[in-house]
Amino acid sequence: MRVVIEANVQRVGEVAAEILAAQVRRDPRSVLGLATGGTPCGCYRELIAIHRRDGLDFSQVRTFNLDEYWGISPDHPQSYHTFMRAELFQYLNLCPANCHLPRGDASDSIAESERYERGIRDAGGIDIQLLGLGRNGHIGFNEPGSSLASRTRVKHLARQTIDDNARFFGAPELVPRSAITMGVQTILDARHCLLLATGISKAGAIAAAVEGPVTAAIPASALQLHPQVTVIVDEDAAAELRNREYYLLAEQGRRESSEYESPQH
Ligand code: GLP
């Protein structure tokens, strides 16, 4: 794992956006895995700025989001479809037919899950998967206990997740009880995973994901099994990392020499 500790939330967004932009410059037909929640918003703002400033072209980019609330339609004001349009899609020259999210209003969850997995496979797999982190260690909506071999399916939300997401719905009782989410293995199939976390409330989950044992109790810890993971955190989210000094040293080394630069972390 490459662990990048940045001074503040703004820098986390900038560094993440630069990694995504570099991928799109390298391959204009890139497949980006996208995430929702508060954490990726800074990254999206910066990506929009790069698009405007440098004319970065998204016309051939394909996107797949991690998840969607189950039981709500794409035009629901709190759906992740609506979130992605509001925070990112409307500002880039993406082709709407290339932007994919699982449908929360599908009648058959198994058929919809298989359709989504097939879509990712048919696109050639995900080049970079952006990830936020739940306070309980979830990625996507893979709550603690999720199989590390799981694929897209409907999962019940944990109490803490419902409470954390109540701010978007106005009250916990309005938050859907389940969601359709890429599985842990679907996420691990991406060629590069980019995990972002900011704020002191994520410090415990980051330490567990990066330095704890690989366990279904902390689904994000499965990322330790992936050869190319970049974790970008601010100082607050890094507060409980035991190997902080090493991560800073390694980043300094990367900046000073690219001789032994390898995509494997
Ligand atoms: C939701 C999403 C996750 C996200 C998490 C953290 O549960 N399904 O993908 O990582 O929230 O959200 P936030 O970034 O707002 O802390």
Residue ranges of the domains in the chain? Answer: 2-240
Average pLDDT score over the chain: 97
CA distance 203 to 67: 23
Atom of ligand 1 nearest to the CA of 66: 9
pLDDT above 70 as % of the chain: 99
105, 72 Cβ separation under 8 angstroms: yes
Q: In terms of pLDDT, which residue wins out, 260 or 60?
A: 60
pLDDT of residue 264: 83
Q: CA 96, 102, 105: angle at the middle one, nearest 5? A: 105
pLDDT of residue 61: 98
Q: Quick check: 76 pLDDT over 80?
A: yes
Decide whether any atom of ligand 1 lies within 6 Å of the 36 Cβ.
Answer: yes
CA distance 85 to 145: 31
Distance 165 CA to ligand 1 centre (A): 8
CATH code of the region 2-240: 3.40.50.1360
Beta bridge partners of 2: 230
Decide whether any atom of ligand 1 lies within 6 Å of the 132 Cβ.
Answer: yes
Mean pLDDT of 238-244: 98
Q: Quick check: 260 pLDDT over 70?
A: no
Q: Tens digits of per-residue pLDDT, 14-31?
A: 999 999 999 999 999 999
How far is CA 265 from each of CA 40, 152, 237, 254, rounded to the nearest angstrom?
A: 22, 26, 20, 12
30, 21 Cβ separation under 8 angstroms: no
Q: Quick check: 258 pLDDT over 90?
A: no
Q: Tens digits of per-residue pLDDT, 132-180?
A: 999 999 999 999 999 999 999 999 999 999 999 999 999 999 999 999 9
* Closest C-alpha to ligand 1, atom 4: 132
Instruction: State the pLDDT confidence band at 210, using cuts at 50, 70 and 90.
Output: very high
pTM over 0.85: yes
List strand residue ranges (DSSP E) for 67-187, in order.
Answer: 67-69, 99-100, 128-131, 153-156, 178-181
Mean pLDDT of 217-246: 98
Distance 257 CA to ligand 1 centre (A): 35
Residue 243 appears among annotated catalytic residues: no
* Closest C-alpha to ligand 1, atom 9: 140
